Structure 1
Amino acid sequence: MSRELLRFWGRGIARGLGVVFGPFLRAFDRGFDRFAGGYERALDWSLSHRSVVLLGAAGALGLAALVGWGLDRNLLPRVDQGAFEVGVELPEGTALARTDQVARALEEVLLGHEDVEAVFGTVGRDVRRLAQADDASGLHTATFQVRLRDGAATDPVVEALRAPLREAASGGTVTVVTGQATALGQLLGGSDADIAVRIRGRDLDRALDWAEEVVAQLADAERVTNVRMGVERGHMQYELEILRDELVTYGIQPQAVANRVDQGMRGILASEFIEFDRKIPIRVQLPDSLRYDIATLQELRIGSIPLGQLLNIELAMGPSEVRRHDQSRVVTVLADVRSGGLDRALGEVETAVAGLAVPEGFRVDIGGENEEMQRSFRDLGFAFALALVLVFMILAAQFESFLHPGTILAAVPLALIGAILALFATGQGLNTMSLIGIVILVGIVVNDSIVKVDFIVQARERGAELREAIMEAGRVRLRPIIMTTVTTVLGLTPMALGLGRGADLRAPLAISVIGGLLLATILTLIVVPVLFSVVEQVRLALGGRPVRSRAPRRSGDGAPARPMGPGFGAGTATARSRMERRP
């Protein structure tokens, strides 16, 4: 009873679905039949004009190479995270209270924009930033993390705020960084600045002078912005040089002079006040008016000898910090990419720096994020080549031939054409994500070629002529090839549309895969059969062994085995046919 009830409801649901979807499915079948007829005619024409087809494919590959050469190159795609960073740097030596005053004015400007949701600020020295970034950090600096409201674009907000921020900075230098490194970018080695010009040498003052020339040279560059120095000159200070000849004359040790200078400037620890578990030092010092006077230092005595006779005191500019790279002093000029991609901006910086005479004894390196980009591109290129080799080895073992795998892998350069053109059409560039998509294509696009070449080989083994086998493969294998491509493309479409925050990071991967798969499928249906026919004829002309027909398979009782349907038989594994062909 229950079985009959299930059958009744099943037939009813099937009839209902047939009424709803039947017209659409019948229309789809009619449209696909017309497409299949057009494809069969196109394939027949292509087999009669093979040179035209192959030359056209080669020309398309050359055009794609030119387009790819002109694409922007970056480590990662630019991601609108709905946030940006603002930094202000006042003259060295500015009091913390003055820095805080300017920071509050900047905060008011930022919060006054309608699309700004929250502002998080840090005034003064940021110990974490000092250790992790090249930007200057001290009592004269302040940084803000600005978060935007949902749906607000970062670039228009930044352009609207640049001028008001400069006015509120009261003579300070304001930098706005929109391309903040994502978590993936930091993992790959990306930095806060896209480009870094490193000036190495022992003379820090001359390095700073030349760095200022570089900043001035890059100020009018079109492709870079936020040009700034990673280290400041510092402030004036007194440098004390101990006169050792005088110390020998009076019999005084250098340590005694150093201790006396420390006592005069910092005071003497007289005692400690103990309160429970706390120890509070009690220090005896001169008044500030005397401690900060150089005359006081000269009048301090060791015994009856004034320090003025034991020291050479000079007023000099002291560095705010000293950075080293590869065991040498380095001064860094930082810049961010405004437009045109990292590679074009880097070329503009190299041209600008080449117009300046490098001081003797100095070395200039231009690096930054482009160094990691070059390493990533090199590693992905190796991964691409390794994928080709591995796929070729598997196919050679499957087909027991070195020619057929080469024909199948012809789909890979066809996929590159589609991937590059898709990136160009959508305004994307070459970056780590898009190149990962291209590497993935190596394993995807060969599937259609495998299905087609495998069917042709089986048809040839059944005794079909070369052209007949190719045309039969086109008819039988067209629908599964098209359906495989359509389902894959539809599955990647939401990722390619770039919906939501941070989706810009994933979109280039999906775009490169979709473009490569679509064009590779279209060209595979035409170019791969044409190339197979050429390779097969060349093989036979060079003395290759013709493909022998297989005898009909016999069942266990000696009767001919029942033939399988065309759909199932076409998908029989090639390895089985090879085994049956062997004596």
Structure 2
Amino acid sequence: MNLPDLSIRRPVAVVMVFLLVVVLGVVSLGRLKLDLMPKMTIPVAAVITTYEGAGPYEVENMITRPLEESLATVANITGINSQSASGRSLVVLEFDWGVNMDFALLDVRERIDLIKGFLPDEAGDPIVIKFDPSMMPVMNLAVSGDTGQAKLKQIAEDEIGPRLERVPGVASVGVAGGLVRQITVDIDQEKLNAYGLSLQNVVQTLQAENLNLPGGFAQTGTLELVVRTLGEFTDLRDIAGINLATPAGGAVKLSEIAAITDTFREQTGYVLLNGEPAVSLNLQKEAGANTVDVSRRVRKELEAIRAGLEDGVTLSVVQDQAEFIQEAIGELRNNAIVGGLLAVFILLLFLKNLASTLIIALAIPISIIGTFALIYFGKLTINMMTLGGLALGVGMMVDNAIVVLENTYRLRQEGASLADAARDGASEVGMAISASTLTTMVAFLPVVFTRGMAAQIFRELSLTVSFSLLASLFVALTLVPMFCSKFLGLRKKETALEKEPEQAAASSRFYSVFLGKYRQALGWALAHKKTVLVLTLLVFIGTLFLIRFIGMEFIPPMDQGEFYVNIQMPRGSMLTETSAVVEQVDAVLAEIPEIDTIMVSVGAGGGPGFGGDSPDQARYIVRLREDRDRPVEEILEEVRRGVAPVTGATIGAYSASAMFGGMGGQRLSLKIKGDDFATLEEIANDLVELLKEVEGAREVSSSLETGRPELRLAVDRAKASAWGLNAYTIASQVRTAIEGTTATKLRINGQEYDVLVRLRRDNLPRIDDLYALMVSTPYGTTVPLREVTSFITMQGPVSISREDQQRVVTISAGVAGTDLRSITQEFQRIANSYPLPPRYSLEIGGEAQEMYEAFGELFLALLLAALFVYMIMAAQFESFIHPFTIMSTVPLAAIGAIWALFLTGHHLSVVSIIGLIMLVGIAVNNGIVLIDYINNLRRRGMKINEAIIEAGAIRLRPILMTSLTTILGLVPMSLGIGEGAELSASMGVTVIGGLTSSTFLTLVVTPVIYAVFDALGARFRRRRANSEYV
């Protein structure tokens, strides 16, 4: 079927088809979801097992190791990592990319069932969890005001949290900070001992006294009454007035041995918003829910909640992933629009005809709208990759239309009617533009089938570019010839394109001079083929040496407008000590004018994904002003310098990693593997000191942390049994003495408050006093704790990490002021020179490992792309030689791409390598156009040099037009201005640099290579003819 002929004969049908495409595209656009990145399936699962009361060593030997040995037999596993800590085991399983995780998890559960019977009876059942990047909170809110922390906590938990959890898409709401009201019973230990009582007696009495119980039914005459025994406490006086039975047979009121107060639970952590007490709420979305949609619904609900809050209470949004997503997508959309306008401007500049420009320019919006429909039916989303694909393709969308229009004018010039010129002009070049479109598409084909994180990220970009180019090809073969046949003939005035090439050039003095110089340069090049080829080869080799001066990184970091600061105190530090360091960090942050909002969670209670785990930790979320001049990395360097003098804590400052939805972390790691902890610790300490001296390394730290000192009570089971005691009853009474025990609850105005029984704070036992603590027995007597236990002071690791069933300590570091490859090489040099004991090893990990793995996959994709492009051209030209000639444009493009990265300071990353892969498909298009026309002229009888020069002169304008539209279409993207623009900037720079060098060198070098191959072919044919004659 001849599409141009059909479109010219059936213009109304063509218009209806494209109206259908537009309608489908517009409807699809309205239904497409916004997201930052494509949905990624990470082949990682975790097995979590609890073992209360066990230390890291016990957990490792009795839980983790048996699980590792069993799970190592699961199919498609590439790595097993584990962490054994007090009371819990975490085993992380890494699978091959592309594995069906649902089936993999079934296999994991089967292996666990086989070994479950060999785990300790006290251990909980292992829980299997599939890793989901959406597990991190999508929003962080803060409730602040002058109503007091207890009231803020109540508002957050009772009013705001439940309403937000009802919002569709919200999975859970975690509340942190504030004060919790409780009733405290502080026992005087001396008085307690004087009456022969124990804390357990007090707890049991409170539990027995505070209840209402039904007693059945009683009759009086004809009535049946419900019998209820009322004993529930109504106020503090009820608690104070209860009687405790003493062993001597008497009784004593609770108020005589204890102080009963209405107070607040002892704080183990708190939250500050811009220095003022606050309560934080972090929202976690459901798996599969769209972040932007959830944010919109939550913000709508927040407006309704704010309207009902009492005066003086403020509910603010501290962090919202959707904001960055929308801003980043908006910037990319604007870049695509500006790029499209620049491409249209270039068309108008060359064509000097509004009708011609509009016909070609129509290819851009129609192709984009049609692409939206294909994105929707392909079940993709609007994200930085799909929009990046459109921004990349916006300049190329007019290439096919330009070639069709230029050929139509050429036939018109030769005397064909307008309809014939439009039909034949599109038909003649139909195969060529189809081949050039296919070369660009097949260049992306290997990317779709590569494995790893890079493939997950860039698959949708590849598909979107392919969709848009297919749409533009369809426009060029149908809509453009139809419009040409209807509207171009209406203009009587001869346009620039309707003139002879030299006449068209005369319309622009600059172009005339340029064309003349080009003819001279091409003639000189053909006369000095060896010189041209040697110079080109030397330039290419010299350019390759530049690569060593170009930094490497996995994915360019994005400026999300926020950063994090983590504080880790020595294990066992008290909240007051952590708060003192927080005040010093606050002072540093106060000196930075770009900061807009600071939210810090100090100690426990920060909530999932935000707060610390214990009083010796603190974590900041810092948002920056939108009108700032400095990038986030520059501000982070100032923060690091400011906190460097702070002693007594490990402080790290990290940029936000929006791509992976979590807190910014360390980019480089060095793993030390071995068995003995003392040896691992010695090696780790040595390497940390060495690595701190590496330029660009930041926050170098070891994962091997010494746990807080422990006083362990070993129960003498024989002695305890003689008193009717066991480990549980002893441990619970010790806990009551130190931490306190919630004995019961007091209901006031519909609210329930814990009643906590504990020793008076000034009676808190020192180690010596703990020996004398009286433990209550089932026989109504008491016994000193020292009689049934022995005391051991120990200090061990917080957790034990293992990788591939071997203990491992990880040294982590951030990177600033340099690229990832340079610092990785320096780390590797230090690791190679460090003298390791036998059976110990060092291994680079973290983002550096991911980078090298991704580079390996993408460089293979690059080679396959070149092979596939060659196959397409060989099929088009029905030749094995001509495609080699055209493929010379690829190294010519590499010259410009490498120089562009070097001059602009961009690093070689998976993003820029995608640009290189794209260049393989784009760069050959100009060569295809040029070589195809040279062959046409030679078939008409021209000599080779004359055909080359004539073809170069005639095809100069369309080559420049197609290249410039693509280049200018990418300029906004390459500038990297705006939220998230850093991600795609290096891709734009790579394509612009490569296409610039390829365009101009193709016009000279490719014809020379063509002439050389032609001469070699002719010589070969003569020799074969002579041999046959002989």
Q: TM-score scaled to structure 1, two decimals?
A: 0.78
In 1, the alpha carbon distance for the partners of 2:774 and 2:652 equals 46
Cα distance change on mapping 1:190 and 1:439 into 2, 3 Å: farther
Q: Does 1:435 align with 2:929?
A: no
The answer for the alignment partner of 1:63 in structure 2 is 542
Deviations 1:392-437 (A, max 9, x none): 1211111111111111111011101110011111111201211111
8 Å Cα contact 1:190/1:369 also seen in 2: no
Match of 1:195 among 663, 668, 689: 668
The answer for the alignment partner of 1:350 in structure 2 is 828
In 1, the alpha carbon distance for the partners of 2:796 and 2:651 equals 24
Deviations 1:161-201 (A, max 9, x none): 4444345x4532322224x4241xx28x9971111122334
In 2, the alpha carbon distance for the partners of 1:214 and 1:456 equals 64
Q: Does 1:106 align with 2:585?
A: yes
The answer for the alignment partner of 2:702 in structure 1 is 229
The answer for the alignment partner of 1:496 in structure 2 is 974
The answer for the alignment partner of 2:951 in structure 1 is 473
Cα distance change on mapping 1:151 and 1:251 into 2, 3 Å: closer
Following superposition of structure 1 onto structure 2, how do residues 48-127 of structure 1 map, counting pairs within 5 Å?
A: 48-125=527-604, 126=606
Cα distance change on mapping 1:279 and 1:501 into 2, 3 Å: closer
The answer for the alignment partner of 2:518 in structure 1 is 39
Unaligned runs of 5+ residues in structure 1 are 1-9, 19-24, 547-583
The answer for the alignment partner of 2:892 in structure 1 is 414
1:256 is displaced (CA, Å) by 6.3
8 Å Cα contact 2:578/2:615 also seen in 1: yes
Cα distance change on mapping 1:391 and 1:256 into 2, 3 Å: farther
In 2, the alpha carbon distance for the partners of 1:190 and 1:49 equals 60
Q: Does 1:388 align with 2:866?
A: yes
1:360 is displaced (CA, Å) by 4.9
The answer for the alignment partner of 1:238 in structure 2 is 711
The answer for the alignment partner of 1:259 in structure 2 is 728
The answer for the alignment partner of 1:151 in structure 2 is 628
Match of 2:685 among 200, 207, 212: 212
Cα distance change on mapping 1:279 and 1:208 into 2, 3 Å: farther
In 1, the alpha carbon distance for the partners of 2:932 and 2:746 equals 90
Unaligned runs of 5+ residues in structure 2 are 1-487, 497-503, 1025-1030
Cα distance change on mapping 1:28 and 1:199 into 2, 3 Å: farther
The answer for the alignment partner of 1:177 in structure 2 is 654
The answer for the alignment partner of 1:446 in structure 2 is 924
Deviations 1:49-78 (A, max 9, x none): 111111111111111111013310001224
1:361 is displaced (CA, Å) by 4.8
8 Å Cα contact 1:67/1:424 also seen in 2: yes
**What is the identity, as a one-letter code, of the residue corresponding to 2:904?**
T
SS at match of 1:151: coil
SS at match of 1:543: helix
Q: Which stretch of the first structure deviates more once superposed, 324-333 or 288-297?
A: 288-297
Deviations 1:37-56 (A, max 9, x none): 11111111111111111111
Sequence identity of aligned pairs in percent? 32
In 2, the alpha carbon distance for the partners of 1:422 and 1:190 equals 32
8 Å Cα contact 1:411/1:520 also seen in 2: yes
1:337 is displaced (CA, Å) by 1.6
In 1, the alpha carbon distance for the partners of 2:790 and 2:886 equals 82
In 2, the alpha carbon distance for the partners of 1:130 and 1:375 equals 31
The answer for the alignment partner of 1:535 in structure 2 is 1013
8 Å Cα contact 1:120/1:146 also seen in 2: yes
The answer for the alignment partner of 2:121 in structure 1 is none
Deviations 1:237-291 (A, max 9, x none): 1345677xx85xx8969x9653244234224989645859998887876677576
1:335 is displaced (CA, Å) by 0.7
In 2, the alpha carbon distance for the partners of 1:73 and 1:164 equals 29
**What is the identity, as a one-letter code, of the residue corresponding to 2:1002?**
T
8 Å Cα contact 2:553/2:851 also seen in 1: yes
Deviations 1:491-550 (A, max 9, x none): 11111222223322221111110110010011111111111111122122222899xxxx
The answer for the alignment partner of 1:553 in structure 2 is none
Cα distance change on mapping 1:256 and 1:120 into 2, 3 Å: same
1:294 is displaced (CA, Å) by 6.3
**What is the identity, as a one-letter code, of the residue corresponding to 2:621?**
Q
8 Å Cα contact 2:697/2:813 also seen in 1: yes
In 1, the alpha carbon distance for the partners of 2:857 and 2:714 equals 53
Q: TM-score scaled to structure 2, two decimals?
A: 0.46
Cα distance change on mapping 1:102 and 1:28 into 2, 3 Å: farther
Cα distance change on mapping 1:36 and 1:112 into 2, 3 Å: same
In 1, the alpha carbon distance for the partners of 2:874 and 2:867 equals 10
1:152 is displaced (CA, Å) by 2.5
8 Å Cα contact 1:264/1:291 also seen in 2: no
**What is the identity, as a one-letter code, of the residue corresponding to 1:262?**
A
In 1, the alpha carbon distance for the partners of 2:663 and 2:1018 equals 54
8 Å Cα contact 1:221/1:348 also seen in 2: yes
Residue-pair matches, total = 514
8 Å Cα contact 2:564/2:654 also seen in 1: yes
In 2, the alpha carbon distance for the partners of 1:261 and 1:200 equals 40
Cα distance change on mapping 1:531 and 1:191 into 2, 3 Å: farther
Cα distance change on mapping 1:202 and 1:272 into 2, 3 Å: farther
1:114 is displaced (CA, Å) by 2.1
1:103 is displaced (CA, Å) by 1.7
Q: Does 1:293 align with 2:767?
A: yes
RMSD between superposed Cα atoms in Å: 3.7
Cα distance change on mapping 1:191 and 1:57 into 2, 3 Å: farther
SS at match of 1:336: strand
SS at match of 1:39: helix
In 2, the alpha carbon distance for the partners of 1:198 and 1:130 equals 26
In 2, the alpha carbon distance for the partners of 1:65 and 1:487 equals 28
Cα distance change on mapping 1:38 and 1:545 into 2, 3 Å: farther
Cα distance change on mapping 1:499 and 1:70 into 2, 3 Å: same
Q: Which stretch of the first structure deviates more once superposed, 453-462 or 189-198?
A: 189-198
1:208 is displaced (CA, Å) by 3.2
In 2, the alpha carbon distance for the partners of 1:481 and 1:312 equals 88
Cα distance change on mapping 1:411 and 1:397 into 2, 3 Å: same
Deviations 1:348-369 (A, max 9, x none): 1222234433355543322111
SS at match of 2:919: helix
Cα distance change on mapping 1:404 and 1:67 into 2, 3 Å: same
In 2, the alpha carbon distance for the partners of 1:97 and 1:270 equals 25
The answer for the alignment partner of 2:817 in structure 1 is 339
Q: Which stretch of the first structure deviates more once superposed, 153-162 or 92-101?
A: 153-162
Match of 2:616 among 113, 135, 140: 140
In 1, the alpha carbon distance for the partners of 2:608 and 2:746 equals 33
Cα distance change on mapping 1:234 and 1:129 into 2, 3 Å: farther
Deviations 1:294-327 (A, max 9, x none): 6745987899998768766431113333444334
Q: Which stretch of the first structure deviates more once superposed, 537-546 or 293-302?
A: 293-302
1:147 is displaced (CA, Å) by 2.5
The answer for the alignment partner of 1:555 in structure 2 is none
SS at match of 1:402: coil
**What is the identity, as a one-letter code, of the residue corresponding to 2:624?**
L
